Amino acid sequence: MTPAHRVHCHPSPSRHRLAERSHDVIVVGGGHAGVEAALAAARLGVDVALVTPRLDRIGEMSCNPAIGGLGKGQLAREVDALGGVMGQVIDKTGIQFRMLNTRKGYAVRAPRAQADRHLYREEVTRIVESTSGVTIIGLPADGLIIEANEREGGQRVAGVILGDGTRLLAPAVVMTTGTFLSAIMHTGEEQAEGGRVGEAAFAGLSHALTQLGLSLGRLKTGTPPRLDTEGIDWDRLEEQWGDVDPQPFSYATEDRGVLFPTLPQVACHITYTSEAAHDLIRQNIHRAPMYAGRIQGQGPRYCPSVEDKVMRFPDRDRHQIFLEPEGLDTRVIYANGISTSLPAEVQEQFVRTVEGLERTRFIRHGYAVEYDFVMPAQLDPTLAVSRVPGLFLAGQINGTSGYEEAAAQGLMAGANAALWVTDRAPFVLGRDQAYVGVLVDDLVVSQPTEPYRMFTSRAEYRLMLRQDNADERLTAQASECGLVGDEQLARMTARRAGKDRALELLRTTRRSDESGNSRALIDWLRRPEIDFAQLERENPELAELELTPSQRVGVEAEVKYEGYVERQKRDVDRLARQESLLIPQDVDFAGLEGLSGEAREKLASLRPRTLGAATRIAGVNPPDVSLLAIHLERRRRAESIHAPD
């Protein structure tokens, strides 16, 4: 069968025709997006099929065995606050936990943890397998079943065609196929089809999406070599341990007082590339697929390959390499920092010039993978494809990179697919509510030219969107739509009450300062050099509250940031008015005088729905937005003058 035959079109009268469907929602792909999508949909009470070709790869970490990091740690905390499983799984399977940026402001602090890769995958698989309402099907999807959309015109999705030809029906399909669509792996001159080492690539769905008229692009990402622990001279390398008092990702771990960390903790080690390594890389650069022109897709600028680092920063004489164990019972070491797709023999040569790695043995060489993604500007804020009702996309398929970005999108897409098939209101988060909101909002107006990853700098309201308060921002809303249960909501409420008791004590307890003036503890806490832990030590009534670490940080941040947060809230209100100003779909951007050429082109092709969305399109600058705002205001006035009474 040619791929073209895999998209089937036949008429169907109704979205909810029960006799024809086997499931309510089909999730295609069992990676980080797919798992959260399936579980979120199941939590909302619908019947889910999770279609994924390898049952032994559900929840696989394709690249680095770690969760969290700057921006990503906040996303993982939000996924947890929304009822997702990423946080609980890493708490159980983490082998090193660190809170990053503890010397910087609360807004940029973020948790990160190394995982035992195998245990992480096993735990995810156990959770999915034990969730009622989720049926796992161990086959690839090869095409989409598309029907004429009689109610609204156009087309709509009606299911998927599995690799063995079976037709699986559902009114909603969430595609989360990661790096696998028409994927090619590159190591030097060698190319092989596949989305991840040892696994196949799938072209059928790329064809199906193209046939639907969707615009696809091509991106690239890479992974470093995996080394054998036995060939590394560990004694010569700098050790890096996790935090002495590690903090869990999941609020549930914190509240339930379970043993944490569950697993023994290990050290990572640090070494550096050498001048000799840089010379070898330069001499062989013409053999790197990106430089030889064999890869069309753009890779992530913020996560460059070692060959990119050497070529782009010729003045740097060394680059850091973190040697991260992939687990407790494995010899595999992940060489973080030297992602590469140079030929295998060049990789071996340059790695052996690195201090401590002279005798190293390779378990696997680094490689790059190039894959199709769908231009995310074709999605609406529920992550549904605007022109194909019932089709939702989440994760790397939307041009993002990273487990946390994938999990966050998966949860939102799975939830919205379930809400949609049951005719309930969609669940959409704003930029002032969550990093998840920032992520989705950025995506739906973007045409990525490199994989999108989260950074704290993308969130303009980051003082409000802290890792410590993800629960207070999101759990109640998630509970309203049925995504989290009563127990999780009650735990959040109890945590908030504990913080309120602490704030009350801080306001009412007074201590004298150096000059004998009595001052409330809250004023002491406002001083930059004083933290909550110090006040706890000096005031037993505070210590008796037995706040958890995230409650302590939360109280501290609320007190120290009070003025700034108030200002941000005012900004949110002011911008909300502009944000929600609708742009009528018939605005003729080409005819709008004064817009820059690039803004005109981007606005015409992306057609943002609101002025807020227009402000975030790359190439649409503040003067363009002002002009557009004036135009909209004039038009509104003209229409209100001409409107009949």
Per-residue burial over 221-258, b = 16 or more CB atoms within 10 Å of its CB, e = otherwise? bbbbbbbebebbeeeebeeeebeeebbbbbbbbbbeee
Is residue 401 close enough to count as binding ligand FAD by CB under 6 A?
yes
Is residue 396 close enough to count as binding ligand FAD by CB under 6 A?
yes
Residue from 24, 34, 65, 206 that binds ligand FAD (CB under 6 A)?
A: 34
Q: Are strands 48-51 and 134-137 parallel, antiparallel or unpaired?
A: parallel
Backbone angles phi, psi at 622, to 5 degrees: -50, -40
Is residue 561 close enough to count as binding ligand FAD by CB under 6 A?
no
CA dist 443 and 435 (Å) reads 12
Is residue 474 close enough to count as binding ligand FAD by CB under 6 A?
no
> Near ligand FAD by CB under 6 A, which window of 26-34, 90-98, 242-250, 260-268?
26-34
Is residue 306 close enough to count as binding ligand FAD by CB under 6 A?
no
Which residue number, 202 or 461, has a Cβ lying nearer to ligand FAD? 202
CA dist 497 and 187 (Å) reads 55
Is residue 373 close enough to count as binding ligand FAD by CB under 6 A?
no
Interaction with ligand FAD in 165-184: which residues (CB under 6 A)? 176-180
Residue from 392, 403, 420, 561 that binds ligand FAD (CB under 6 A)?
A: 403
Is residue 65 close enough to count as binding ligand FAD by CB under 6 A?
no
- Asked whether 94 and 326 are in contact (CB, 8 A), the reply is no
Residue from 7, 25, 26, 33 that binds ligand FAD (CB under 6 A)?
A: 33
Distances 175 to 251, 400, 413 between C-alpha atoms, Å: 29, 14, 9
Per-residue burial over 110-146, b = 16 or more CB atoms within 10 Å of its CB, e = otherwise? bbbbbbbbbbbbbbbbebbeebebbbbbebbbbbbbb
- Asked whether 95 and 327 are in contact (CB, 8 A), the reply is yes
> In this structure, what token pair is assigned to residue 113?
């943890």
> Near ligand FAD by CB under 6 A, which window of 55-63, 378-386, 552-560, 637-645?
55-63
Least distance to ligand FAD, CB of residue 19, Å:
26
SS3 assignment for 149-197: ECCCCCEEEEEEEECCCCEEECCEEEECCCCCECCEEEECCEEEECCEC
CA dist 135 and 130 (Å) reads 10
**Count of residues of this chain found to bind ligand FAD when the rule CB under 6 A is applied:** 37
- Asked whether 270 and 321 are in contact (CB, 8 A), the reply is yes
Which residue number, 55 or 489, has a Cβ lying nearer to ligand FAD? 55
Least distance to ligand FAD, CB of residue 369, Å:
4
Give me the half-sphere count of Cα atoms (radius 13 Å) on the Cβ side of residue 521: 22
> Near ligand FAD by CB under 6 A, which window of 144-152, 401-409, 431-439, 609-617?
401-409
Distance of CA 168 to the CA centre of its chain: 28
SS3 assignment for 503-520: HHHHHHCEEECCCCCEEE
> Near ligand FAD by CB under 6 A, which window of 51-59, 411-419, 572-580, 618-626?
51-59
Least distance to ligand FAD, CB of residue 542, Å:
40
Least distance to ligand FAD, CB of residue 241, Å:
24
Is residue 440 close enough to count as binding ligand FAD by CB under 6 A?
no
- Asked whether 65 and 227 are in contact (CB, 8 A), the reply is no
Residue from 24, 48, 53, 86 that binds ligand FAD (CB under 6 A)?
A: 53
Least distance to ligand FAD, CB of residue 575, Å:
30
Distances 40 to 23, 128, 406, 489 between C-alpha atoms, Å: 15, 11, 13, 16
- Asked whether 100 and 73 are in contact (CB, 8 A), the reply is yes
Is residue 391 close enough to count as binding ligand FAD by CB under 6 A?
no
> Near ligand FAD by CB under 6 A, which window of 30-38, 117-125, 254-262, 575-583?
30-38
Is residue 161 close enough to count as binding ligand FAD by CB under 6 A?
no
> Near ligand FAD by CB under 6 A, which window of 32-40, 380-388, 460-468, 597-605?
32-40
Is residue 297 close enough to count as binding ligand FAD by CB under 6 A?
no
Is residue 381 close enough to count as binding ligand FAD by CB under 6 A?
no
By rule CB under 6 A, what string of x and - marks binding of each residue 216-235 to ligand FAD?
Answer: -----xxx------------
Which residue number, 156 or 196, has a Cβ lying nearer to ligand FAD? 196
> In this structure, what token pair is assigned to residue 194?
């596949």
By rule CB under 6 A, what string of x and - marks binding of each residue 330-349 to ligand FAD?
Answer: ---------x----------
Residue from 15, 26, 30, 551 that binds ligand FAD (CB under 6 A)?
A: 30
Residue from 23, 31, 309, 351 that binds ligand FAD (CB under 6 A)?
A: 31
Which residue number, 56 or 645, has a Cβ lying nearer to ligand FAD? 56
SS3 assignment for 377-409: HHECCCCEECCCCCEEECCHHHCECCHHHHHHH
CA dist 150 and 333 (Å) reads 55
By rule CB under 6 A, what string of x and - marks binding of each residue 183-202 to ligand FAD?
Answer: -------------x-----x
Residue from 49, 51, 478, 628 that binds ligand FAD (CB under 6 A)?
A: 51
Is residue 141 close enough to count as binding ligand FAD by CB under 6 A?
yes
Please give the radius of gyration of the chain, using alpha carbons only, rounded to the nearest integer.
26
Peptide bond connecting 261 to the previous residue in cis, omega within 30 degrees of 0: yes
CA dist 443 and 616 (Å) reads 10
Q: Which residues partner with 141 through β-bridges?
A: 162
Which residue number, 21 or 72, has a Cβ lying nearer to ligand FAD? 72
Is residue 128 close enough to count as binding ligand FAD by CB under 6 A?
no
Residue 149: CB partners within 8 Å, gap ≥ 6? 155, 156, 389
Least distance to ligand FAD, CB of residue 59, Å:
8
Residues binding ligand FAD (CB under 6 A): 28-34, 51-54, 57, 62-63, 140-141, 176-180, 196, 202, 205, 221-223, 303, 339, 369, 395-396, 401-403, 406, 453
